[in-house]
Chains A and B, each alone.
Chain A
C-alpha cells in the first residue's frame, strides 16, 4: 500500500516513455511528406554503434573507468569533512553553510556557468583555478612546464572533486547525526579509543549511508552531461547534423545496460557489508 503512489507514478512517467525510447532504438526515422515514420530495422542500430562506430566503445570504457576511479576519492573526502563538521567546534554552523555552497551552485547550470566564466581564469578552468591560480602559475614557472603541469592537473582534479562532493557531505552529515549517542557512550565505557570507535561504531552505523552515497556518486558521474564524454557523443549523434536518432537511441540503451550492470554489481557487493539495525 505504501508503495502504491510510486508504482502509479512509475508507470505513467517512466515506463511508458522508456518503452517508447526502446522502440526508437530498434527503428529508423524516416521523414517524408506524409509525416514522420519509424521503420523497424531490428538490431541494425546496435551493430552500427558497436562494430562500425570508432568512438562509441572507447567513450564507453572511458566514462566507466573515470567513474570507478573518482568514487573512492569523493566518498572519503565527503566522509572526512562531514566528520569534521560534527566535532562541535566553534563556528560549525558557518562551515556547514559554506559546505552547502557546492550543492546550490552545482544544481544550477546557469550559476555554474557564471562561476566558471566570471573568474579571472575564464573558460574551462573556471572555479578551481580562481583560488589557486597565482600559486600554480608560480609553481609552473619554478618547476618547468612538464612537472608543474602535472601538479596543476592534480590540483585541478582535486578541487573538482571537492566541488562535486557537496551532496555527499550533507548525506554523511545526516547519517552521522542519526547514530544514537548511546552507542558512543557504550564504546567509551568499554574503553575504545577514537579510531576504534570510528571503525567499530560509526562506520557500521552509517554503512547504509555509504551505500547510498556510492550509488548517488556513480549515477551523478554517469549522467553528468558536461564532463561525461559519452553523453556528449550520443547527443551529437542523435541531434547533430546526421540526426541518427535511432542509432543514438541504441547507444543510449547500451549505455544504460552497461551502467546498470556496474551499479548492480556495486549494490550486490555492498549489500553484504552494509549493516542495517532494522533488518531481520
Chain B
C-alpha cells in the first residue's frame, strides 16, 4: 500500500498526479463535510432558541399578539431595549456587577488555584481525607446551610453588604467553591514533575514555582475556571437575593433582571391594578418583548467576555513554550 502511494506520488505523469491529489483531497473533504454537518446540527439545537429569544425581543406589542407573526417581527422595535435599559438601570447596574464579579472571581480563582495545587502536589497529613471533605462540600446544596449562614452574617453585620458574596470566595469557598479546587487539582496533577524539579534546581522557591511554572502550564484550566466563575457569579441570584435582600441600590444585574421580569409579569397578569407600569412601558397586554430585551442585555456581557477569553484555551500549553 505504502509503496503504491509513493509510486503515484513521485510519478512524472501529470494526469496521474492530479488524480492522486484529487482523491486524497476528496477523502479529506468528505470527512470535513461530515464533521461540519454534525457541528451545524448540534449548533442548531442551541442556536434556534437563542434566535427566537432575540427576535422576540425586537417584536412590537402588535407583533406579539399577531398570530401570523411567528419568527420575524414586521418592524424592528428597539423601544423594547430602551425600556429594558431604563428599568434595569443598566448603566449603573452593569458597572456594579462587573466590579462585584471581578472581585469575587479574582478571589475565587486565585485561592482555589492555590488550594488545588496543594491537593495535587503536597503530601501532608490527612491530605486524602481533607480532599474528600472538600468534594463533600460540593454536594451540600447551598439551601441547606442558608439559615445558619444568614444568622452568622447578621452577627457579623454583613447583611446588605457585599461581604457575604465576596469574602467566602477569597477563602476558596462560595459559589461551587470546591469544584474550582477540583478543576485545579486535576489540571496540576496531570502536569509532569520534571519542570518543577528543574525550577527547584534553578533556585526557585515554592511560590515562584507555583506562579511562574505551574500556573502558566495550567492555562486552559485557568481559563475555564475564570469563565465559570465569571458566569456563575454574573447570573447568581441565590446569594444576592438572600444577603442583599433590601438594599436594591447594591443589586447586581441578575437581581435587577429577576425583579424586572417579576414586576412585568405581574403587571401583565393584573392589568387593571398596574396601569401606571403599563402606561410607562407603552405596552398593551404582552410584556414578552421588553423582558426578552432585558434578558439579552444581561447575557450579552458574559458572552462578549467569553469570546475574548477563548484564545486562552487555544494558546494553552504550546505557546508557553515550557514543554519540550
Could you tell me which A residues sit within 8 Å of B by CB distance? 1-3, 5-10, 12-14, 16-18, 20-21, 81, 84-85, 87, 89, 93, 95-105, 107-111, 113-115, 118-120, 127-128, 130-131, 159, 162-163, 167, 170-171, 173-175, 177-182, 205, 208-209, 211-212, 215-216, 219, 222-223, 225, 231, 235, 252, 256, 259-260, 263-264, 267, 276-280
B115 to chain A, nearest CB (A): 4
Name the CB-closest residue of A to B70: A120
Q: 1/0 per residue B299-321: CB within 8 Å of A?
A: 10011001100100110111000
Partner of A100, one of B122, B191, B303: B303
Apart from A6-B172, A110-B237, 9 more pairs, CB < 8 Å: A3-B114, A6-B171, A13-B171, A20-B147, A128-B45, A170-B227, A178-B316, A278-B120, A278-B188
Does residue B78 face the partner (Cβ distance < 8 Å to A)?
no
B173 proximal to A (CB < 8 A) = yes
Q: Which of A5, A103, A131 contacts B114 (CB 8 A)?
A: A5
Q: Is B141 an interface residue (CB 8 A)?
A: yes
Q: Which residue of A lies closest to B302 (CB)?
A: A104
Measured CA separation A120–B147 after assembly (Å): 39
Assess the A6–B148 pair: CB atoms within 8 A.
Answer: no
B232 to chain A: which residues have CB within 8 Å?
Answer: 107
* Chain A residues in 8 Å Cβ range of B148: 16-17, 20-21
Given contacts A2-B115, A111-B298, A180-B317, contact A278 B190 (CB under 8 A): yes
Q: Which 8 A-B pairs have the closest CB atoms?
A: A9-B171, A2-B118, A108-B235, A17-B148, A17-B145, A174-B220, A3-B118, A6-B115
Q: Given A13-B171, A14-B137, verify A209-B186 contact (CB < 8 Å).
A: yes
Which residue of chain B has its CB nearest to the CB of A252?
B144
Q: Which residues of A contact B234 (CB under 8 A)?
A: 107-108
Query: Hey, which chain B residues are within 8 Å of A85, CB to CB?
Result: 39
Q: Which residues of A contact B18 (CB under 8 A)?
A: none
Q: Which B residues are in CB contact (< 8 Å) with A277? A: 189-192
B164-203 vs A: 1/0 string, CB under 8 Å?
0000101111100101011100111111110000000000
A211 to B186, Cβ gap below 8 A?
yes
Distance in Å: Cβ of B238 to nearest Cβ of chain A: 8
Dominant secondary structure at the B interface: helix
Q: Please, which residue of chain B has its CB at the minimum distance from the CB of A235? A: B143
Min C-beta distance of B298 to chain A, whole Å: 7
Q: B276 at the A/B interface (Cβ < 8 Å)? A: no
When distances are taken between beta carbons in the complex, the residues of chain A under 8 Å from B174 are 13
Distance between Cα atoms of A87 and B187 in the complex (Å): 22
| Nearest CB in chain A: distance from B273 CB, A | 21
Counting chain B CB atoms within 10 Å of each CB, the highest count among A2, A179, A215 belongs to A2
B231 touches A107 (CB 8 A): yes
Contact of B220 among A114, A178, A267 (CB under 8 A): A178
Q: Establish whether residues A103 and B172, one from each chain, have CB atoms under 8 Å apart when the complex forms.
A: no
Q: Tell me the smallest distance from the CB of A80 to a CB of chain B, in Å.
A: 8
Return B224 CB to nearest CB of chain A, in Å: 4
Residues A97 and B303 in contact, CB atoms below 8 Å apart? yes
Interface residues of B in 109-158 (CB under 8 A from A): 111-112, 114-115, 117-122, 124, 130, 132-141, 143-145, 147-149, 152
Q: Can you name the residue of chain B whose Cβ is closest to the Cβ of A109?
A: B237
Cβ-defined contact, A119 with B49, below 8 A: yes
Q: A9-B177, A111-B299, A178-B218 are in contact. Are A84 and B115 (CB under 8 A)?
A: no
By a CB distance below 8 angstroms, the chain B residues around A95 are 39, 43
Query: Which residue, of A99, A115, A208, has the highest number of chain B Cβ atoms within 10 A?
Result: A208
State A259–B324 Cα separation when bound (angstroms): 42
Known contacts A97-B307, A211-B186; A3/B130 CB under 8 A: yes
CB pair A101–B261 under 8 Å, yes or no, is no
- Which residue of chain A has its CB nearest to the CB of B150? A17
Q: How far is the CA of A111 from the CA of B14 in the complex (A)?
A: 60
Question: For residue A256, which residue of chain B has the nearest CB?
Answer: B139
17 contacts between A and B (CB under 8 A): A8-B171, A10-B133, A13-B149, A13-B171, A18-B140, A84-B35, A97-B310, A100-B306, A108-B235, A110-B257, A110-B295, A111-B298, A120-B52, A163-B46, A215-B182, A263-B135, A278-B191
CB of B237, distance to nearest CB on chain A (Å): 6
A219 x B171 contact (CB < 8 A): no
- Is A159 in contact with B218, judged by CB distance below 8 angstroms? no
Flag if A130 contacts B52 (CB, 8 Å). Answer: yes
Whether, in the assembled complex, B223 has its beta carbon less than 8 Å from a beta carbon of chain A, the answer is yes
